[in-house]
Amino acid sequence: MPPALGTRRVVLVSGKGGVGKTTVSVALALSAARRGQRVLLCETQGSTRVPAIFGRPSKGYEPMQVATNLDTLSITPAAAIEEYVLLQLHFHRLYRMVFRNRIMGPFVDAVPGLHDLVQLGKVWFAERETVAGRPRWDLVVVDAPATGHGLTMLGAPRAMMDLTTSGPFYENAKLIADLVEDEARTALLLVSTAEEMPLRETVDLYSRLGNMRRLVGGAVLNEVHPSPVPSPAEWSAARGALLETGGGDVHAAVDLVDDELRAVSRQADARSRLAALGTVAELPFQFHRDLARADYDSFATAIEGLL
Ligand SMILES: Nc1ncnc2c1ncn2[C@@H]1O[C@H](COP(=O)(O)OP(=O)(O)OP(=O)(O)O)[C@@H](O)[C@H]1O
Ligand SMILES: [Mg+2]
Ligand 2: centre distance to CA 255 (Å): 33
End-to-end Cα, the chain, rounded Å: 13
Q: Is 189 in the pocket of ligand 1 (CB under 6 A)?
A: no
Q: List Cα–Cα distances, 216 to 2, 22, 211, 212, in angstroms.
A: 8, 18, 11, 8
pLDDT bin (cut points 50, 70, 90) of residue 104 is: low
Q: Which atom of ligand 1 is nearest to the CA of 291?
A: 31
User: Ligand 1 in contact with 146 (CB < 6 A)?
Assistant: yes
105 lines ligand 1 (CB under 6 A): no
Residue range 96-108: mean pLDDT, rounded: 59
Residues 6+ apart with CB under 8 A from 216: 2, 187, 188, 189, 190, 206, 209, 277, 278
Helix (H) or strand (E) segment spanning residue 156? helix 147-164
Q: What is the pLDDT of residues 128-184, one digit of tens each?
A: 999 999 999 999 999 999 988 888 899 999 999 998 899 888 999 999 999 999 999
SS3 label, residue 190: strand
Separation of CA 9 and ligand 2 centre (Å): 21
Q: What is the DSSP string of 10-65?
A: EEEEEESTTSSHHHHHHHHHHHHHHTT--EEEEE-TT---HHHHTT----TTS-EE
Beta bridge partners of 89: none
Classify each residue of 180-202 as buried b or exposed e, where b means 16 or more C-beta atoms within 10 Å of its C-beta.
bbebebbbbbbbbbbeeebbebb
Q: E strands within 132-275?
A: 134-135, 139-143, 186-192, 216-224
Atom of ligand 1 nearest to the CA of 49: 17
> Checking DSSP bridges between strand 216-224 and strand 280-284, what pairing results, if any?
parallel
- Does the beta carbon of 36 lie inside 6 Å of ligand 1? no
pLDDT-based confidence at residue 86 (cuts at 50, 70, 90): confident
In angstroms, rounded to a whole number, what is the distance separating the alpha carbons of residues 140 and 152?
20
pLDDT for the residue 203:
94
Average pLDDT over residues 69-95: 81
Contact 64, 71 (CB under 8 A): yes
Residue 117 has pLDDT above 90, yes or no: yes
Provide the 10 A C-beta neighbour count for residue 280: 20
Pocket flag, ligand 1, residue 150 (CB < 6 Å): no
Measured from the CB, is residue 222 less than 6 Å from ligand 1?
Answer: yes
Considering every ligand atom shown, identify the ligand nearest to the alpha carbon of residue 146 and give its number.
1
pLDDT value for 289? 78
Instruction: Decide if 225 contacts 285 (C-beta within 8 A).
Output: yes
Residue 147, pLDDT score:
87
Of the candidates 204, 267, 280, 273, the residue with the CA atom closest to the CA atom of residue 5: 280
Per-residue pLDDT tens over the stretch 218-263: 999 999 999 988 888 889 888 888 888 877 788 899 999 999 999 9
Look at the pTM and tell me if it is higher than 0.85.
yes
In one letter, which amino acid is 40? L
Name which residue sits closest to atom 24 of ligand 1, judged by CA: 18
Query: Using N-to-C axis directions, what is the helix angle for 77-89 and 114-128, rounded to 10°?
Result: 60
Distance CA(126)–CA(31), nearest Å, equals: 20
Q: Is 69 in the pocket of ligand 1 (CB under 6 A)?
A: no
User: Which residue out of 291, 293, 295, 299 has the highest number of ligand 1 atoms within 8 Å of its CB and is therefore the one to mutate?
Assistant: 291
Nearest-angstrom CA–CA distance, 139 and 22: 16
264 close to 225: Cβ distance less than 8 angstroms: yes
Residue 94 confidence (pLDDT) above 70 = no
Degrees (nearest 5) of the Cα angle 44, 46, 52?
95
Query: 80-94, 106-120, 127-141: lowest mean pLDDT where?
Result: 80-94
